[in-house]
Amino acid sequence: MKSAIKFILLLIFIINSDILMAQTNSDMDKLLWIVDSWVSAEGESRSYEEWKKTGDNLFEGSSRTVKNGEVTFSESLKIENTAEGIFYIADVKHNPAPVKFRLTSVSDTSAVFENPEHDFPKKISYMLEEGNLHAFIEGPGKDGSTKKIDFYMMKMR
């Protein structure tokens, strides 16, 4: 009798896990629009962001800013579907470890990732607007007020 109950509970757990993974896989599919090479030019700087789908549960990317031929900023990026949810993971040199931001909202043209424990940013948003990428980061500024930085990028041709 106990074996039957354990089997039924295990079966329920497996079914629920499969349903959860199916939902998050469809959320990963909704993010496919980000997979491309993007560029933004402002003044003397150019910023590049590139995303590749490297598996059903993983997109790998990078971002860098170049000014006067010199890289002034770079980071390694991932969007990963895990058992705990979908995360945007930024690996930047000035942070001791990669920082995870949980996917909190997704559609066929937008995604919001949040980490309320991180100093700045606490929120990273991406939107596909008329074929272009609009990304912005938000969080508390040094004076305590909300700070927002926008990035507008076009597909690299």
- Ordered by start, the domain boundaries in the chain are 2-155
Whether pLDDT at 47 is above 60: yes
Q: For residue 75, what is the enclosing H or E element?
A: strand 70-82
Q: How confident is the model at residue 3 (pLDDT cuts 50, 70, 90)?
A: low
Residue 23 has pLDDT above 50, yes or no: no
Average of per-residue pLDDT across 18-27: 58
Q: Pick the range with the lowest mean pLDDT from 6-10, 126-130, 135-139, 145-149.
A: 6-10
pTM of the model: 0.83
CB 81 within 8 A of CB 24: yes
| Mean pLDDT for the stretch of residues 120-126 | 97
The residues with which 71 forms a beta bridge, in sequence order, are 66
More confident residue, 6 or 47: 47
Does 46 or 9 have the greater pLDDT score? Answer: 46
Which residues, in sequence order, are CB contacts of 106 under 8 Å at separation 6+? 27, 30, 31, 86, 112
The closest alpha carbon to 104, from 85, 76, 80, belongs to 85
| Alpha-carbon gap, residue 7 to 134, rounded angstroms | 49
pLDDT at 25 over 60: yes
Please give the CATH topology (third level) of the domain spanning 2-155. Lipocalin (2.40.128)
The H-or-E segment that residue 19 falls in is helix 2-30
